[in-house]
Structure 1
């Protein structure tokens, strides 16, 4: 399935934007709200994908971001700089 279609299918709250970005060692998912003044990044490491599988890893990342977005994302640390969490393999 197309990654953008999966993001849209997750059912993020209105006004939430989720952008996947390539990152050394994995893929970064950046969720923002309020024009980027609030946001959270979740890095899905390559090790996590190898350990848990691409589908389950991606589903977990998107559901965690959606749950957090429903509660409201934290304020940006600085313009364009957001709190980051990392999903690693054991």
Structure 2
């Protein structure tokens, strides 16, 4: 399943947008909503190598969906959101 299909299949609430961008040693998965709210998770290349591409992406998307359903926090400044990091052990 390609990434866009996984995002569509993850069941994000209405109005939530998911963006994925490369950043250093990994990818940032960001969910944003209305009024400058959002949250992101940095999925490191090490985590993908340890746990596998499919399971890590599914876990990250699930966590972002949970945050979106619970209510996204406001941005710290325009375009800067709270972040968690998923690293390999």
TM over 0.5: yes
Per-residue CA deviation, residues 6-63 of structure 1 (Å, 9 max, x unaligned), is: 001100000000001011100110100005x100010000000010010000010000
Q: 2:67 is matched with which residue?
A: 68
State TM-score, norm by structure 1: 0.96
Q: 2:23 is matched with which residue?
A: 23
Segments ≥4 residues shifted beyond 3 Å: none
Note if 1:47 corresponds to 2:52: no
Number of residue-to-residue matches in the alignment: 89
Structure 2: where are the runs of 5+ without partners?
Answer: none
Structure 1: where are the runs of 5+ without partners?
Answer: none
RMSD: 0.7
- Structure 2 distance, partners of 1:60, 1:5, is 15
SS in 1 for 2:42: strand
